[in-house]
Amino acid sequence: SAGGLVLSTGARIPRLGLGVWQVPDGARCERAVRWALEAGYRLIDTAQAYGNETSVGRAIRDSGVPREEIFLTTKFYPGRRNPLREAEASLRRLGTDHVDLYLVHWPQGGPTRAWPGMEAAQREGLARAIGVSNFDPADLAALKAVAQVPPAVNQVQLSPFEYRRELIDACAADGIVVQSYSPLGTGRHLSDRTVGAVAARCGRSPAQVLIRWAIQKGLSVLPKSVHRERIVDNAAVFDFALDDASMAELDALDRTGTTSEALAAERKWWH
C-alpha cells in the first residue's frame, strides 16, 4: 500500500508489513499470514530463529496472491556459520526461490562476520537485497568499512518511546531504510495515556496512532498480531495523518537517551 520506500537496490519495500515473531509454526501462523495478505499486507517478515518459515511459505502459496507481489523477508541466525547455506535452507522451508530481503538478525559475534556470506547470497540470487537488524551506529560504521555491498535495511525496535533519532539520521545519511519492529512496544505502549489521548482526538486506535507515527517518520513498520481484527485495524493507517502537534507529543515520549543505551536495553528483546 501507498507506494512503499525505495531500497538502495532500486527495489521497493512496503511501508507496512506483518511481523510473526513468537508465532509458533502451525495453523496460528498460517492464519495470521493469510489474513494479512487478505487485508492487503504485501510484506511478511520472518526469520530462521522464529521457527515458522514453513507456515509463512505455506500461507503465501495458499493465499493465491502472486509471489512477485509479496515482499518476503527472512533473517540469518548469527549462531550459524554460513549465510549462503542457511539461505538455501530458509528458501526450502519457505518454498520459494528467493527472498526479497535477507537480514543478519543481530550483530553479536561481530557486526561484519556474516557479511561476505550475505553478499554471496545476494550474488547467487537467493536474496534480492541484504541488510541487518539490531545494529547500532557503531555496528553500522564497522560494517560500512568492509562491505562491498552496503546494507539496504536496518531493522530495529523503534517507537516514540524508543525513538532512535541518531540511528535514523545515520541510516538516512547512508541510504539505509529503517524498519521498525515492535512498534507497539510488544503491546506495552498501547495503554499509554498520551497515545490514548492522541488516538481519542483523531478517532483512531492507539495501535493505529503508533503505526502511523512510524510511517510519518519515513520508516517501514512491522506490527505483529495473530488476531484478524487487529491485523485489519493495524493496516488502516493510510487514510489519516497525525498533525504536527500530535507528532510532537508522541516524539516527547522518547525515553531512550542515547541510541546505544537504547539498543543495549533492547538486547534482551532481540527478535
Catalytic amino acids? 50
CB of 1 vs ligand A2P, minimal distance in Å: 17
CB of 182 vs ligand A2P, minimal distance in Å: 4
CB of 178 vs ligand A2P, minimal distance in Å: 16
Q: What residues make contact with ligand A2P under the rule CB under 6 A? A: 19, 182-187, 190, 205, 207, 223-227, 230, 233-234
Which residues sit opposite 12 in a β-bridge? 6
Which is closer to ligand A2P, CB of 52 or CB of 122?
52
d(Cα 186, Cα 184) in Å, to the nearest integer? 5
CB of 9 vs ligand A2P, minimal distance in Å: 26
Find out whether 230 and 31 touch, Cβ atoms under 8 Å: no
d(Cα 259, Cα 95) in Å, to the nearest integer? 37
d(Cα 119, Cα 65) in Å, to the nearest integer? 29
If we measure between CA atoms, which residue out of 48, 5, 50, 17 comes closest to residue 181? 17
Q: What's the grid cell of residue 7?
A: 531500497
Listed in sequence order, the residues at least 6 apart from 156 whose beta carbon sits closer than 8 Å to its beta carbon are 133, 134, 135, 164, 167, 178, 179, 180, 181, 263, 266
Which is closer to ligand A2P, CB of 78 or CB of 183?
183
Amino acid letter, 122: Q
CB of 91 vs ligand A2P, minimal distance in Å: 26
Find out whether 237 and 40 touch, Cβ atoms under 8 Å: no
Find out whether 210 and 183 touch, Cβ atoms under 8 Å: yes
Which is closer to ligand A2P, CB of 117 or CB of 206?
206
CB of 222 vs ligand A2P, minimal distance in Å: 7
177-181 and 153-157 as β-strands: parallel, antiparallel, unpaired? parallel
DSSP string, 95-157: TSS-BSEEEE---TT-TTTTHHHHHHHHHTTSBS-EEEES--HHHHHHHHHH-SS--SEEEEE
Which is closer to ligand A2P, CB of 107 or CB of 206?
206
Find out whether 210 and 243 touch, Cβ atoms under 8 Å: no
Which is closer to ligand A2P, CB of 179 or CB of 225?
225
